[in-house]
Amino acid sequence: MAIEKSPHYGSLQKLVDALFEREETVARLDAIILAEAFDLPADLKELVNLLPPGRYTRLRLCDQINSSVAGHGWGYVYGTVE
C-alpha cells in the first residue's frame, strides 16, 4: 500500500505562517485556537495539542511540531514546517 499525501498537506505550514504574521512569539493556546479555527483534521489538532505549555518563537514552535510529525511518521503525509 503506497502512502499518499493528505489533502491537508501543508496545513501546518499555513498555521505557522498565520501565527507569526504579526507576532514574534505566540502562546500554545494561540496555536490551539487557530488550529480549531482552521478546522484542521483530528491528527493535526492532536499534534498542536501535544505542544508543551509556554510561549514560542517561530523556530522553537517549528522544532516542536516537526518533532511530533517525525515521531508519528507523518512527514510525507502532512509535511513539515519552517
The string of pLDDT tens digits covering residues 17-27 is 999 999 999 99
In this model, does residue 79 exceed pLDDT 70?
Answer: yes
33 belongs to a structural domain: yes
27 belongs to a structural domain: yes
In this model, does residue 1 exceed pLDDT 80?
Answer: no
16 belongs to a structural domain: yes
Strand, coil or helix: what is 25? strand
Q: How confident is the model at residue 2 (pLDDT cuts 50, 70, 90)?
A: confident
CB within 8 Å of 48: residues ≥ 6 apart: 15, 31, 32, 35, 40, 65
- The answer to whether the predicted template modeling score (pTM) of the entire model surpasses 0.75 is yes
- Count of structural domains, the chain: 1
